[in-house]
Structure 1
Amino acid sequence: MLKSINHWTFPKDMPMESVFEHARLAGYDALELNLGQAGAIGPNLASTTTELAAIKRMAESNGILLRSLSCGLMWDHSLSAPQPEVRRRGQEIVSKQLEAAHELGMDTILTVAGYCTDDDTSYELLETRSRETLGNLLPHAERLGVTIAIENVWSKFLLSPTEMAGYVDGFGSSSIGVYFDIGNVMLYGHPEQWIRILGSRIRKIHVKDFRRAVGNGQGFVPLLAGDVKWPLVMKALRDIGYTDTITAEVGAYSSYPLQAVYDTARHLDVLIHGEPR
C-alpha cells in the first residue's frame, strides 16, 4: 500500500513547491490534492492546463505520486439538492474535477453522492436526483479514464455497506466506485465490516481516527489515538487485495501545524508495515 496524505493537512498558505518538498522529506509516496475555489493554492476551478502541468511537474520532480483529487465544494453544491440550479452547479464542479484529475495523471476523484436535508421530501427522491446527476457525469468520466469514487460522509445517506454497494452497482459502470473513509464510518458502523462487503468497489481509502464516546466532529483525533481497530482494518484491506493509497485526512496542529505532516507519516508506517520505520 502507498503512504499518502491530503493537502489539507499542510498550512493553508504554503506554496505548492514547499508542499511537495515536505511530502518528500516526510517519506510519503503520494499526495492527494483538492479542487478549490478560483485562486486557491493548488488545483482550482480556474486552473489552466498549463498551471496543472506545472503542478504535475513539481510532483514528479519530488518523486510524489498524484493518485486522487478531492473537493470540499460539494457541501454547498449537492448533487442531490432539491434546486435544479444547485445540482447543475454541482455537476459543473465535478466535471471540472474530472478534467483536472485527467490533466494531473490521476485515476480517481472523490465526491459525495448526496445529502439528506430538511429540504428533501423523501429519501427516495434524494436517491433519484443523485443517480440522475451522477449518471450525467459518467460518460465524461469514462471518456477521460477517471473513476468517480463516492465517499461515505455524515450526510444521512448511504448508511450501510450493503446500501452503498447496491447504489454503486446500480450504475453498471466500472467508472464509479467507493472512496471509503475509515474514520467517518465509526459513528454508525465498523470499518472492517464495510471493507469486506464493499470489496473491489473500493478505489481509494481515507484514514483518520475517531473516539466514539465524543460522538461529534470533535471526536476525530490523530491516527492511533482513537477507537479504530487498526489491525482488523488493515487485515481486511489486505484480504480484499487493496494495494493503492492509504491517504491520511487529518487536520494541521494549532501550534507548529506542519508537524502533523511528519507525525502522520510515522503513524502510517505503523499501519502499513506493522511497526515504525
Structure 2
Amino acid sequence: MDQTRRDFVKTAAIGVGATVFGGSPLTQAAEEKRPRRNQGKIFKADKGGGIGSDEKGMIEKLEQYQSLGFDGLEGASPGIPDLNALNRAMKQTGMPVHGVVDMVHWKQRLSDPDPAVREIGRAALEQAVLDSKAIGGTTVLLVPGRVAGENETHDDVWKRSIVEIRKVVPVAKREKIKILVENVWNGFCETPDEFRDYIDEIDSEWVGVYFDIGNVRKFGKPEDWIRILGPRIGKLDVKDWGVENGFCRLGEGDVDWPAVREALAEINYTGWATREGRDNSLEDTANQMDILLDL
C-alpha cells in the first residue's frame, strides 16, 4: 500500500472512531444516518476461534459477537462438539453459524498421491457438508490440495481434486450445501484465470469460490480477481496483507479497499464476509469491517 492510501485509511478509521466514541452529537447523528453501501447486502462474520465446548459457552460466544454487531459466525468440521446444543444456542440468540470450514483438507488432501489418503479427505468433505446442513449453514470452505513436488504437481492437484469433489457433489446437491474452494498459498491456481477455469471444469452449481481478499494480494489485486471470478464467488474471507507487514490489522496492508468495494458492487455481490485473523480487539475488527466494507 502506498503511503497516501495507508494514511487515508488510518484517517478514516480515526474519524469514524471519534464519531462513535465521543464525536459531537451533530457529527455522530450524521454518521449514523449516512447510507451504507453494503448494509443489508454484505453480512459480517468471524471465524470465532471455536464455537464453545458446551451450550452455555456457545450462547455466551454468540451473544458476545452479537453485541458487537456481527451477523453470525463460521464453524469448523470437525470442531463443533455438539450440533444439537449449537442449534439450541443459535435459536436462543438468533445468531446463525453460516457454514463450516473443512478442517481435514490440509493433512488428508484431495490431491495426495495416495488414493487411501484422498479417500479420507473425500469422506471428511462429505461429513463437513452434513455438518453444515445440520446447523442450518449453506457452505463448506475447502482447500483442494497443495502443490508439493513431483508427486503432487499443479496438474495433479487439478485432476485429483476435481475427481474427489465431483464424488461429493451429489451429497452437496441433496443437502443444498455449496462447496466453496478457497484461494490460499498452496501453489495452486495463482492467477484468476486459472482459478476461474478450475471451477468451471468442475461444472456444478454446487461448487464455487470462497474468495480470500488478503491471500490474493501477494499475487495480484483482489479487485481484478473479483471481476474475473464474478458470480462464482459465494462468500468472502476478509484479511489484509502487505509487503511491509504481511498479514496484519485490517486497513494496514496493501489491499485497496475502495477498489475492492467497487469490484464487489460491479458483480453485485451479496452474502457473507468473514474475518479470518485478529485485529486490536473484536471491537476493532467489527469497526474496521464496517469502515472498509461500508457496512
TM-score by length of 2: 0.80
Distance 1:230 1:121, change over 3 A: closer
Q: Is the 8 A contact 1:10 1:261 kept in 2?
A: no
The letter for the 2-side match of 1:232 is A
Give the Cα separation in 1 of the matches to 2:127 and 2:293.
33
The residue correspondences of 1:9-20 to structure 2 (distance < 5 A) are 15-20=57-62
Give the Cα separation in 2 of the matches to 1:151 and 1:224.
22
Give the Cα separation in 2 of the matches to 1:82 and 1:33.
29
Give the Cα separation in 1 of the matches to 2:98 and 2:272.
8
Q: Specify the alignment match of 1:68 in structure 2.
A: 99
The letter for the 1-side match of 2:290 is D
CA shift, 1:107, in A, is 1.0
1:228 partner SS? coil
Say which one has the larger Rg.
2
CA shift, 1:246, in A, is 1.1
Give the Cα separation in 1 of the matches to 2:103 and 2:273.
19
Give the Cα separation in 1 of the matches to 2:152 and 2:70.
45
Counterpart pick for 1:102 among 108, 126, 133: 133
Counterpart pick for 1:207 among 232, 235, 238: 238
Give the Cα separation in 1 of the matches to 2:290 and 2:273.
10
Q: Is the 8 A contact 1:4 1:246 kept in 2?
A: yes
1:203 partner SS? strand
CA shift, 1:212, in A, is 1.7
Mapped pair 1:2 → 2:43? yes
Mapped pair 1:32 → 2:74? yes
Q: Specify the alignment match of 2:273 in structure 1.
A: 246
Counterpart pick for 2:282 among 252, 261, 269: 261
Q: Is the 8 A contact 2:257 2:293 kept in 1?
A: no
Q: Specify the alignment match of 2:293 in structure 1.
A: 272
Give the Cα separation in 2 of the matches to 1:121 and 1:262.
42
Q: Is the 8 A contact 1:208 1:248 kept in 2?
A: yes
Give the Cα separation in 2 of the matches to 1:82 and 1:90.
12
The letter for the 1-side match of 2:161 is S
1:74 partner SS? coil
The CA RMSD over aligned residues, in Å, is 2.1
CA shift, 1:9, in A, is 7.8
CA shift, 1:54, in A, is 2.1
CA shift, 1:84, in A, is 1.1
Deviations 1:133-187 (CA, angstroms, capped at 9, x unpaired): 1111111111110000000000001111111111111122100000000010011
CA shift, 1:21, in A, is 1.4
Distance 1:237 1:120, change over 3 A: same
Q: Which ranges of structure 2 fall in alignment gaps of 5 or more residues?
A: 1-41
Mapped pair 1:154 → 2:154? no
Distance 1:178 1:8, change over 3 A: same
Q: Specify the alignment match of 1:169 in structure 2.
A: 200
CA shift, 1:123, in A, is 2.5
Counterpart pick for 1:223 among 236, 242, 250: 250
Deviates more, 1:199-208 or 1:264-273: 264-273
TM-score by length of 1: 0.85
Give the Cα separation in 2 of the matches to 1:229 and 1:56.
38
1:31 partner SS? strand
Q: Which ranges of structure 1 fall in alignment gaps of 5 or more residues?
A: 254-258
Q: Specify the alignment match of 2:35 in structure 1.
A: none
Report the count of equivalent residues. Answer: 253
Give the Cα separation in 2 of the matches to 1:234 and 1:56.
33
Give the Cα separation in 1 of the matches to 2:109 and 2:62.
31
The letter for the 2-side match of 1:160 is T
Q: Is the 8 A contact 2:154 2:187 kept in 1?
A: no
Q: Specify the alignment match of 1:22 in structure 2.
A: 64
Percent identity (aligned) = 34
The letter for the 1-side match of 2:89 is M
Give the Cα separation in 1 of the matches to 2:244 and 2:293.
26
Q: Is the 8 A contact 2:105 2:144 kept in 1?
A: no
Q: Specify the alignment match of 1:78 in structure 2.
A: 109
Deviations 1:57-79 (CA, angstroms, capped at 9, x unpaired): 21232221222211332110111
Give the Cα separation in 2 of the matches to 1:234 and 1:10.
29
